[in-house]
Each structure stands twice: as structure tokens, then as C-alpha cells.
Amino acid sequence: MTLPAEHFVNTDTEPASDLDTDLDAERAHLAESRAALRRMRERAEALFSTGGNVAGDSYTAETLGRTLARRVAELADDPDTPLFFGRLDFGAGPQAEDHAGHRYHVGRRHVTDEDGEPMVLDWRAPVSRSFYRASARDPQGLAVRRRFGFSAGLLTSFEDEHLDRGEELGTTSRILTAEIERPRVGPMRDIVATIQPEQDELVRADLDVSICVQGAPGTGKTAVGLHRAAYLLYLHRERLRRSGVLVVGPNRAFLSYISAVLPALGEVEVEQATVDDLLAGVTVRAQDTPAAATVKHDARMAAVLAAALDAHIGTNTEPMTVPDGSYRWRIGAEVLRRLVEDVRAEALPYGTARERIRARVVSLLQRQSEARRGDSPSDGWLRRMGKAKPVTDFLDQVWPAVTPEGLVAQILTDPPPGILTDDERDRLRWPTPPRSLKSAKWTAADLVLIDEAAGLIERRPSFGHVVVDEAQDLSAMQARAIARRSEHGSITLLGDLAQGTAPWAAADWKETLRHLGKPDAEVVPLTVGFRVPAAVVTFANRLLPALAVDVPAARSLRHDGGLTIDAVTDLDAATVAEVRSALTHDGSVGVIAADTAVAGVHAALTSAGIDTATADEVESAARVTVVPASVVKGLEYDHVVVVEPAAIVAAEPRGLHRLYVVLTRAVSRLAVLHTEPLPAPLTSAT
């Protein structure tokens, strides 16, 4: 049940003196907690510095050193972020279970006093769940939930909800509103203090559950994915430390933007990469035509590669004779044929199968040797037999060694018939095949094929959990590359079909989930917008009917903010004027233009004396960032200036989707400047 704010015991309605006393007590608890955290860190640092001496060998020293270094990092205290942000007062009723009558402060990590008593509970601890999920309808044993307001690390206010009296603030909480409306500067921040119930359900989903979150711009998908990673690491630390957690994002600028969130939550061991980073191995030295790239990213390429690899498997009709000193061992042709058939039926990766065949041949030779010599041969003998010429010749005939690059080069030189159309084979074919593999000029899409080929030849280790952001842009082949890295783990897939800008962008999630090997993952919508003001959402939503996707509508929590649309004659002058005006407000300014117009915009701002940064310089002192439209996905700025929407749309086939992304980056204000007419869907009032 939601009641109007004035019904609540909060800083506005409590008698001032009681409030001051309460606030003083909370500030004292904060100071004591910070002191306790400092002691915990000093202890960890002392251990870290002596770790090398106490550990016996260098391996143990290194492992211990890493653990202690992580522990020290986990215990870092950022004076600007509150150590706790909430308090739970459990009632006396049976619902409170073991916590009846207890009071806990909830914060970013556990802090204990000298006696080991909790001063602050980690937000991920089971009991902290009530902070996010308890409601008037289901108080979960809570009498009061308290939220704290902070400014620059100082505790400035609090808000109480007496859930036992049916009071609940929900999204009318002033502290939540202030957090959402705060001016943005620098990289993305964590949202632990204000995770909403529908987000928390996703964050705390079990490790073995894969989920797909479909959410409109600014509904907190990225935030949810990162917090889920932190939550899973807390709950399954040992298991995930061994297998690892991976976050995949669309580009470097995005990764720099999100890079501070997990370390701020004490998690410093999560790998963050773009899909291209994952595929790295050979250097990209050429560019595909869009027509060729589309074929290379098509799911059927997996079948093309598998068939091409399969075609390498040969037949043998000869017996094998292996000389060994004064002996000659012999294996009959039929035995060899069956041996290969048996291994083939095991459906192992190609390279593993080759080695398995070699091992089985050697073991047949070993049996003969044992029967004749009466003792077991040495490891050296086994190795020598494995490399004996007749054995290698046999292997090269029935199961020749193939490299990923070699296989891809083969299908690019002579695309096999059968699966692709003749036109597609023409698009795939190298105009002039390279003289050697070494001189091949690979494209970005070739890397996806090489990775697929590598996966057919050898299995790679799987991460325990993979978070994939902006997943609507994954091609089938990219999804398969991620599937190979999460085969034995779970995934959190985050995206918005309306923001699909890649030529192969998904039209529905089922298909992507199938390629990711998680066809049964639930698709969960997020529909509350925390970034984009309602007026801007309404404007951007005019594009939705033209985007041909079926996505649930979102509602914005932000009713402040502003939108201006100006037809201008001098774009440069108008941009400079708009940026100057934006700089009179707090927060970041993002100027977004078509990729080819970015240099001009940058020059105009620089000659007007305005300092600018690029999108991956998230720590830059410059408040103005000039961003190409193709890079801005996932980013946000307080004040966004969009320069010439028509040029952004004209720049690429899915230009309207790109414009939808561009228009939904604003946290507070959006200014649209144009000399050409606005793209048609924007001018048709809804």
C-alpha cells in the first residue's frame, strides 16, 4: 500500500529535536563503522606485507598475495560514498524469525567491530534482501525500514517507512528521487542504495539461472547486470573465482564508462571485454563489404565450417606396421577402421579426437609389446610410438591436423556448395586468395569464423557467469562465440530490441537465446525508466512504430527535465550556443552527431574555447564530451545536444534505431538542432 509522503515519519515531519538526536546517533554509527573498516583494512595490509614471508613456496606466496591484495581492495573506503545507506529494524513477530528485535545497518560491505559483531551488513547478505523487497503488504518481519540521504559522504537525512503500520514510500521516496535526479559526472555509479524490487529479483536470481532482460532505455539493465555479477560473486566466491565472471559490452567507451561500478562494490576480479576482444588472436587488417559481413555472421556459417572440417576426415584401407628395434608391430585395417569410427561416434572436438585416435593406436601397440616383452613400456616409449612415422602418416590420412585459420582460409578461398546460395558463396569468396596463411588479411567478421573453427577443433574453458550487455546487436555467430564461453555457466542477457543497430540485430530474443545455448532462459521486462525524462521519452517513442519491434512500453520516473527542438541555419554556431547554455547547469554535456560530422563539431567547440573529451575519457576534467552516434549506446549525459538527426539516420541502414538510441541518452535535458527536416516519424505527432 502506498501512502502520500506526508504520512511518513521522515525528516520533514518528525519534531526537529528528535530528528537531530537520531541523525547524530546515525552519524556516530557511521564514524565508528568507518573506524572499524579502517582497522580491518590495516590488518589486511599488515598481513599482505608479511604474506610473502610466511608462505612457504612462491606459488603459495603468490596466491596468498593475490587474495590479500583483493581483500585490501575490498576494504577500501571511498569517503564520498556512504558506508551504509539503510537500516532494518525487525519487529517482534514470528515473521522476523531469528532477527526479531534486531537492528541492522545495510551497506556496501560487511564491517565488524573488534568483537566481530556486525556494524554494517553487506547488501548482498540474505537478511539485507528485506531492504529491497519488503513492502507494506509483505513486511518480511520488518517494523521500520530507514533510508539515508548523503551528500559528499556526509549523512544528511533519513526517511522511515513503518511497514508494520502499512506505510510504504515506493518510488515516491525523496531519497530515491534525489539519487535518480542527481547530476551525472564521470563514470557510472553503483545503485546499491536504491535497487528497486523488480530489479532486485533479477539481481538475486540463482547462479544456475540464465535470464534475458528486455528493457527500454534507462530502465537499469546495465545496473542490474553489474549488480548481479557482484551478488553472485558474494554468494559463490570460490566457485566463481575458479571459473571467472565475464562482462561483455559493445565498445571500449562503454567499458570505460561502467568500469568503476564493480570495484566500488569491492569486486575487482571481473573480466570486462567487447565481443571483438574475446575473439582476438589474429590481427584485423582488412574490412568486409556489408554484404560479405552479413553472410559471415549468419548462423549457417557454423554448419559450413562444421561440414568443411568433417570433409577432412579420410579413410584408410591399409594395415599399419610400426618398426620398433628388432620388433615390428602390426594393426589390421579393419581394427583401424573401427577405431576411427568409435572415436568419431564420441563427437569430440576435432583436435581432441585426433589425439584420442593417436592414444588408442599407441595403446594397441603397447598391448602387443607387453605380450611379447612381458613388461610395461616406459613413458618415453609411449611418446616415441605416438610420433612414429607410420602412426603420424595414418593420422594425417584419416584425421589430418587442421588449424582454425587454415579451415577459414579454405572456405574463403573456395566456399563449398550445399548450404549457402551461389550469390552468398560469391560474397564470401576472397577476391584474390593470399599466397600463404601468414599473409592473409583477416577482417573482423573472419575472427568470428576463426573462433567458431577453433571451437570445433578444441573446447575452451567456460566462465561461471557471463553478463552480456546490448545483446540485441549480437549476430548469430557472435552469440555462438559467447555460448562457447558460457557452456557450463549461466548468462544474464541485457538488451532492448528497439536499440538494435547492427545489420543482424535481433527481432526477438528467442533466436538469440537459442544461439547462446540457453533457449529456455526467461525473458523478463523492465519497464520503469530511471534516466530519460518523460517528455524526452514521449518524443523518442514517436520512432517506435517505425522500428518494427514488439517491446513493452516503459514509464519514466522522471517528470522534470526538458526538451527543445530548434530548426537553425548555422549548425556550428547553434551547437556552440547550446553547449554554452548547457554549461550553466550542473552535470555532464554530451554532444552527439553522425560519425562523419564529429570532427567538425569538435573543431567548432574548440575554436569557441570549449574544452571537450572523447567518450572513452571518462575521467576527463572536461565537462563536454563529443560522441559519434555509433559509440553512444549505453552511455548517458545530463544535457544532450543532438546535432542534425537526419544525418544520423542517413548514415546507416538502421539509422532510425540509431536515432532512438541517441535521443534516449539524456538524464535531464535534450536539445535537438537541425537544418534539414527532422526524420518523418519524429514529426508525426502521436
Ligand X SMILES: Nc1ncnc2c1ncn2[C@@H]1O[C@H](COP(=O)(O)OP(=O)(O)OP(=O)(O)O)[C@@H](O)[C@H]1O
Q: Which residues participate in the annotated binding site for ATP?
A: 215-222
What amino acid occupies position 434?
P
558 touches 171 (CB < 8 A) = no
Nearer residue to ligand X within complex by CB, 99 or 184: 184
Nearer residue to ligand X within complex by CB, 215 or 415: 215
Task: At 44, list the grid cell.
Answer: 589486511
In angstroms, what is the minimal distance from the CB of 224 to ligand X? 7
In angstroms, what is the minimal distance from the CB of 429 to ligand X? 38
Nearer residue to ligand X within complex by CB, 233 or 526: 526
What amino acid occupies position 519?
P
Task: At 493, list the grid cell.
Answer: 542477457
623 touches 589 (CB < 8 A) = yes
Task: At 148, list the grid cell.
Answer: 539515508
Alpha-carbon distances of 200 from 19, 130, 230, 292, rounded to whole Å: 30, 10, 12, 42
508 touches 226 (CB < 8 A) = no
In angstroms, what is the minimal distance from the CB of 156 to ligand X? 17
Task: At 88, list the grid cell.
Answer: 532494518
Quickly list DSSP for 54-103. HSSSHHHHHHHHHHHHHHHHHT---TTS-SEEEEEEE-SSGGGGGGTT-E
Nearer residue to ligand X within complex by CB, 395 or 591: 591
Nearer residue to ligand X within complex by CB, 484 or 542: 542
In angstroms, what is the minimal distance from the CB of 131 to ligand X? 13
In angstroms, what is the minimal distance from the CB of 532 to ligand X? 8
In angstroms, what is the minimal distance from the CB of 548 to ligand X? 18
* Residue 565 CB partners (closer than 8 Å, separation 6+): 539, 671, 672, 674, 678
321 touches 328 (CB < 8 A) = yes
109-117 long-range CB contacts below 8 Å, 24 or more apart?
Answer: 109/37, 109/74, 109/75, 109/266, 111/33, 111/36, 111/37, 111/40, 111/83, 112/36, 112/40, 113/32, 113/36, 114/36, 114/39
The single-letter DSSP state of residue 336 is: H
Q: Which residue's C-alpha cell is 571481473?
A: 270
Nearer residue to ligand X within complex by CB, 139 or 217: 217
248 touches 274 (CB < 8 A) = yes
Nearer residue to ligand X within complex by CB, 173 or 410: 173
In angstroms, what is the minimal distance from the CB of 338 to ligand X? 55
Q: How far apart are the C-alpha atoms of 574 and 674, rounded to whole Å?
A: 9
Q: Which residue's C-alpha cell is 572523447?
A: 614
Q: How far apart are the C-alpha atoms of 641 and 461, rounded to whole Å?
A: 44
Q: How far apart are the C-alpha atoms of 107 and 88, rounded to whole Å?
A: 11
Nearer residue to ligand X within complex by CB, 351 or 533: 533
Task: At 14, list the grid cell.
Answer: 518528525
In angstroms, what is the minimal distance from the CB of 211 to ligand X? 14
Nearer residue to ligand X within complex by CB, 499 or 588: 499
Task: At 143, list the grid cell.
Answer: 517494523
- What's the burial of 117, exposed, middle or buried (CB within 10 Å: 0-12/13-18/19+)? exposed
Q: How far apart are the C-alpha atoms of 671 and 666, rounded to whole Å?
A: 9
In angstroms, what is the minimal distance from the CB of 217 to ligand X? 4
In angstroms, what is the minimal distance from the CB of 479 to ligand X? 19
Binding residues: 215-222
Nearer residue to ligand X within complex by CB, 173 or 478: 173
Nearer residue to ligand X within complex by CB, 343 or 532: 532
Sign, Cα dihedral of 7, 11, 16, 21: positive
Nearer residue to ligand X within complex by CB, 221 or 674: 221
Binding site for ligand X (CB under 6 A): 179-180, 191, 194-196, 199, 215, 217-223, 496, 499, 530-531, 634, 636, 664
In angstroms, what is the minimal distance from the CB of 405 to ligand X? 35
Q: How far apart are the C-alpha atoms of 645 and 643, rounded to whole Å?
A: 6
In angstroms, what is the minimal distance from the CB of 651 to ligand X? 20
Identify the CA nearest to 189 among candidates 533, 667, 591, 586: 667
The single-letter DSSP state of residue 19 is: H
Q: How far apart are the C-alpha atoms of 626 and 602, rounded to whole Å?
A: 7
Please report, in angstroms and rounded to a whole number, the separation of the first and last CA atoms in the chain: 33
Q: How far apart are the C-alpha atoms of 332 and 315, rounded to whole Å?
A: 14
Strands (DSSP E) along 296-442, which ranges? 320-324, 327-331
